[in-house]
């Protein structure tokens, strides 16, 4: 069995004004009123900027930095959520105690696809979250023959399931109901998945695993089709 321990909690640039086309370019201090070409003004331009100009510049940089930090926090809190994996049913893609980010809004704009690693409320206990891989879509017939996955009678290659993790038993066939998905762990011999609790309704799937950040040797994007990168 594998579940998730959730933790409630990642710049902006201003458009540059294009320089006028001319034979030479001059960067003008915005505090200056005018530019003249006589010697007295040239020597004045060499003087250090007044203290209040430096303070204004610092305030602008501080404001931009705070805006960038605020946007990053909004993205983390409202779009991505850090979670901790407990268990080994998604090995070798995910290991026990691994920390990952899930995208909580991706399925508001994209459909759930075969191969997606999704996070959902455990059907037998809504207080727990599980993470598994989608192998069957709504309306499809799923069957396992000596460990091999068949969907609507067609064999589906699964490169993310190593030979030592295969479960050579048979299962099904079962038809996936409308608005539901058949999910399984990559570590087939030790996974509590749809073979046990049945297909998962789409309303209970609330995120897709997108990025691993701890431990550091697992740092990187989580592929939906290949676990060999882990």
Any idea of the CA torsion for 102, 103, 104, 106, to the nearest 10 degrees? -150
Which CATH fold topology does 82-221 show? Umud Fragment, subunit A (2.10.109)
Task: State yes or no: pLDDT of 206 exceeds 80.
Answer: yes
What sign has the CA pseudo-torsion 115, 119, 120, 122? positive
Q: Looking at the annotation, which residues are catalytic?
A: 89, 132
SS3 203: helix
CA distance 135 to 39: 78
CA distance 169 to 144: 7
Distance linking the first and last C-alpha atoms of the chain: 21
37-51, 80-94, 156-170: least confidently modelled range = 37-51
Q: Tell me, what's the pLDDT at 69?
A: 87
Q: Tell me, what's the pLDDT at 176?
A: 98
Query: Average of pLDDT values for 48-74?
Result: 80
Which of 35-44, 83-92, 219-228 is most confident? 83-92
Task: State yes or no: pLDDT of 60 exceeds 80.
Answer: yes
Mean pLDDT for all residues in the chain: 80
Any idea of the CA torsion for 52, 55, 59, 61, to the nearest 10 degrees? 120
Q: Is 26 exposed, middle or buried (0-12, 13-18, 19+ CB in 10 A)?
A: exposed
Tell me which residue of 80, 100, 95 sits closest to 227, measured CA to CA. 95
Query: Average of pLDDT values for 80-95?
Result: 92
Spell out the domain ranges in the chain: 39-77, 82-221
């Amino acid at each position: 069995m594998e579940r998730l321990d959730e933790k409630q909690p990642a710049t902006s640039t201003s458009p540059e004004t294009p320089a006028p086309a001319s034979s030479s370019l001059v960067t003008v201090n915005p505090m200056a009123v005018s530019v003249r070409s006589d010697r007295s003004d040239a020597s004045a331009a060499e003087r250090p900027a007044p203290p209040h100009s430096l303070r204004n510049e610092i305030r602008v940089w501080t404001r931009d930095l705070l805006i960038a930090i605020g946007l990053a926090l909004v993205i983390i809190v409202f779009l991505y959520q850090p979670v901790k994996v407990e268990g080994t049913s998604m090995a070798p893609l995910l290991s026990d105690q691994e920390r990952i980010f899930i995208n909580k809004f991706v399925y508001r704009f994209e459909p759930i696809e075969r191969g997606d690693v999704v996070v959902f409320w455990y059907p037998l206990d809504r207080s727990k979250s599980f993470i598994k891989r989608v192998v069957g879509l709504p309306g499809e017939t799923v069957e396992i023959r000596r460990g091999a996955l068949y969907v609507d009678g067609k064999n589906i290659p699964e490169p993310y399931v190593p030979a030592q993790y295969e479960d050579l038993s048979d299962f099904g066939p079962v038809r996936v109901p409308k608005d539901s998905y058949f999910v399984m762990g990559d570590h087939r011999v030790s996974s509590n998945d749809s073979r046990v609790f049945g297909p998962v309704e789409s309303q209970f799937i609330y995120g897709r695993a997108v990025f691993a950040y701890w431990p550091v040797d697992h740092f990187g994007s989580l592929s939906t089709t290949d676990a060999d990168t882990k």
